[in-house]
A and B are shown apart, each in its own frame.
Chain A
Amino acid sequence: MSVLEYVWAGVLAVIAGPAAFEIFGLGVPITVLMVFGGFVIGIVGGATPGLAGPFLMAVSLPILLSIFGFTPDALLPVLGFLVGVMKGATVGGAVPAILFNTPGTPDAMLTTFDGYPMAQKGQAGKALRTAHFASVSGDTFSDIVLFTCAPFLAIAVEAYLGFGEKAALILLSLAFVAAVVGASPMKGMIAAFFGLFVAAIATGEDSYPRLTFETDFLANGVPLITAVLGVLILGEVLYAFEQMWRDRRVEKIKEVQQEGDQRLTWAERKRLFPYISVSALIGTGIGALPGIGSTLAATLGYATGDRMHKGPVKFGDGTPEGVAATEAANSSVSGANLIPVLSLGIPGNVGAVFLILAAESIGGFNPGPGVFRFTTSEVNPELVIAFGLFTAMMLANIMNWIIGGRIMAACGVMSRIPKQVLLPIVLLLTLTAIYVQETDFNAFYFAFAFAILGYLMRKLKVPTLPFVIAFILAGNLETSIRQAFAVSGGDSWFLFKSPLSILFLLIAVGVIIFFSRPKKPAANKAIAAERDS
């Protein structure tokens, strides 16, 4: 099959795949339906303070696996749903930020700076439309970069990297994530090493499951999805519980009468365009690096926009340019974030973690350089899936352009669900989702052990992302190191035998040293918040 035929096969896999039901004799493909469902749920969830994209992805994953099972046919509907959630949550996060000054997602923090003042001036509708327009533009741009870059990067990686270089590349990514996320690279590294250690329990090649104290409880290792949900979701839930209990206050929400023209004219859109394009570039560039969150992109986009801006209403006083600069930057992170996953198999952020978990659980699709093998004699099904995934992302963008804004406007009501009612339900939902996967009460003990770990890490300001990513990559890392060692014939310098792997390791060391130097106080509280998260 030629390259174009592969692309077309991917498109067909989505739009001509198995139909869910028929309307007027026309079948609605299940993948399209799932992308739509995910997208709507993503917006609604993103608009609900306390929920966020990664959380929704985490909870829906086990449910999706139960619905679609573990056949290759399940890949596109499940991945499509998750992608829809990811995109929906990105735009949805702006709703409570603009209407009630409470960001639904962390990256919507800067949207409050201009969005809320606009709402107070009676321009909430305009602010929402601006946020939507900027967000969709940035997102679409970022996806296009992903579609063009990932295959080439993957082909280059596959052609030039042997076992040793792959191991060095994983080490580099881990070092990067550990150093960049959080306030202190050393704490990030501790988290990453701890992730490797936990992943080592009861795995390995020998018949005795290592590090289990010869107990049955540990003998089957740490269940992957349970551990990830425990640290990322339940840890956050426990943390939030304690915060809420400490300051039992009910937030009074004041509503301002909305007046005037809420539309966003083409002339206004044209005026926003420079801000959106600059922010989209910034967001995409930052998103392509593993571990750096969309908050930094939003901050940089906002700061750059501020410098470009010369209008009568200053940034921070409620100007559409401010909303556009922020939203375009944080939304354009999401597509580019998938570049390391699809080309290297290395997840760089939480959303990507759940895509990898989904692919690994279902099987038949292993994100990484092996996917982009354009075999001509036989069909490479993984490549078709990859292009199917791209199609699903584009589909989500199209839905976003057409109806995203309208759904956003309808989601204001979600922001009023009190957190103290929502989060306990979230706890039970997560536990149930874990149980239907594991069908064993022991899974609850694991879940709470990791929830407490996640809670402690948050309290002690040790970043959780390096832990999770190291935990997921540990198996690959160990396998490729063992293989590189075996192939080298037991040479103890096996990691330093090719210039490429030496380069990777040098960069890794450089990154850690660079980020370890003493920092100046953060310019604004959003960066400080990201550093501390």
Chain B
Amino acid sequence: MLDRKTEIWVALICLLAGLLTAILWVPFDSETPPIYDFRRQTYIGDAMLPMVAALGIAVCALVHLLLSWRRKVTEADGPFDKLTAAFFLCLFAIIIAAFVVMYWAGPVALALFGPSGEEAATYRQMRSTVPWKYIGFVSGGFILVFGITSLLEGSMRWKRALSSILAIVVLIVIFDLPFDTILLPPNGDF
């Protein structure tokens, strides 16, 4: 169990979200209402399941709210603090950088160093050709693995850089080498 305050907040948010969803989102974003008549037969419509689910969330949250309200006040730390925010800022900065590099490194490299003039090729044509198809995956993957390991350890170490590269090579061996019909990220998007 968490501390009483957090439990109450969780219950309140679920209650509110459940109610809003059931009253506003579901009816306005489904084609058929929970129950409707069509060609002299009564049907359950598309709104039934999500509406029941949202109301279920609201009802359970209400019960949970009442149960938590009656609990004695307990001393415990909240689940989140400033450190959480700081950590996730760093983590998601690394992940976003990794994704951007993973997506664009291949096409950019092709534009800069690929054949030009008459034989110019698009990345779409080259997306399953060595080395272009590996550029995004290797560079983006390296930023992801090495970046996060360094973040967790608080220092950058050569050994970790090597193990990251090794891990990526192993992934390529597992996923890419044995199969002709598999595209590594990001090559399916081109």
Contact = CB atoms under 8 A, between A and B. Distances in A.
Central interface residue in B32, B79, B144, B175, by most chain A CB within 10 Å: B175
Contacts of B44: 481-482, 485-486
Interface string B63-98: 110010000000000011001100110010001000
B171 A428 contact: yes
Contact of B64 (A187, A207, A441, A486): A187
B49 A474 contact: yes
A187 B56 CA distance: 11
Given A211-B29, A242-B87, A435 B49 contact: no
Interface in B144-159: 144-149, 151-154
Given A186-B67, A441-B185, A460-B6, A210 B47 contact: yes
A242 B149 CA distance: 12
A168 B30 CA distance: 25
A431 B185 contact: yes
A440 B188 contact: yes
Contacts of A490: 41-43
B124 to A, nearest CB: 13
Contacts of A486: 41, 43-44
B163 to A, nearest CB: 6
Interface stretch (A145-153, A189-197, A311-319, A320-328): A189-197
A67 B84 contact: no
A66 B46 contact: no
A204 B30 contact: yes
A229 B2 CA distance: 26
Interface stretch (A2-10, A28-36, A361-369, A418-426): A418-426
Contacts of A481: 44, 48
Nearest to B181: A66
Contacts of A224: none
Contacts of A420: 149, 152-153
A174 to B, nearest CB: 10
A219 B174 CA distance: 32
A424 B145 contact: yes
B10 interface: yes
Nearest to A178: B60
A265 B79 CA distance: 50
B168 interface: yes
Contact of B144 (A67, A424, A436): A424
Nearest to A439: B188
Contacts of A373: none
A477 B43 CA distance: 16
B184 A432 contact: yes
Contact of B2 (A246, A421, A461, A482): A461
A108 interface: no
Contacts of B79: 459-460
Interface residues of A, number: 66
B186 interface: yes
A428 B144 contact: yes
B179 A67 contact: yes
B14 interface: yes
B34 to A, nearest CB: 11
A361 to B, nearest CB: 15
A245 interface: yes
Contacts of B32: 206
A192 B52 CA distance: 12
A461 B29 contact: no
A428 B171 CA distance: 9
Given A197-B57, A204-B46, A429 B2 contact: no
Contacts of A246: 83, 87
B87 A428 contact: no
A429 B32 CA distance: 41
Interface residues of B, number: 73
**Among B6, B21, B30, B154, residue most surrounded by chain A Cβ atoms (within 10 Å):** B30
B101 interface: no
B179 to A, nearest CB: 6
A421 B163 contact: yes
A254 interface: no
A194 B53 contact: yes
Contact of A421 (B14, B18, B160): B160
B119 interface: no
Contacts of B10: 187, 460, 462
Nearest to B63: A186
A421 B150 CA distance: 9
Contacts of B50: 196-197, 200-201, 210-211
A200 B22 CA distance: 13
Contact of B148 (A183, A204, A427): A427
B49 A196 contact: yes
A206 B184 contact: no
Given A432-B185, A460-B2, A241 B148 contact: yes
Given A210-B50, A245-B152, A424-B147, 16 more contacts: A63-B175, A67-B178, A193-B54, A200-B53, A204-B30, A204-B31, A241-B87, A241-B152, A421-B163, A424-B164, A432-B171, A439-B188, A440-B188, A441-B189, A461-B2, A482-B43
21 contacts: A66-B181, A186-B64, A187-B10, A187-B60, A190-B60, A193-B60, A204-B46, A206-B45, A248-B154, A420-B152, A423-B148, A431-B144, A432-B137, A433-B175, A438-B188, A439-B188, A441-B99, A441-B185, A461-B2, A485-B44, A490-B42
Interface of A: 63, 66-67, 183-184, 186-187, 189-190, 192-194, 196-197, 200-201, 204-208, 210-213, 238, 241-242, 244-246, 248, 420-421, 423-425, 427-429, 431-433, 435-436, 438-441, 444, 448, 459-462, 474, 477-478, 481-482, 485-486, 489-490, 516, 532
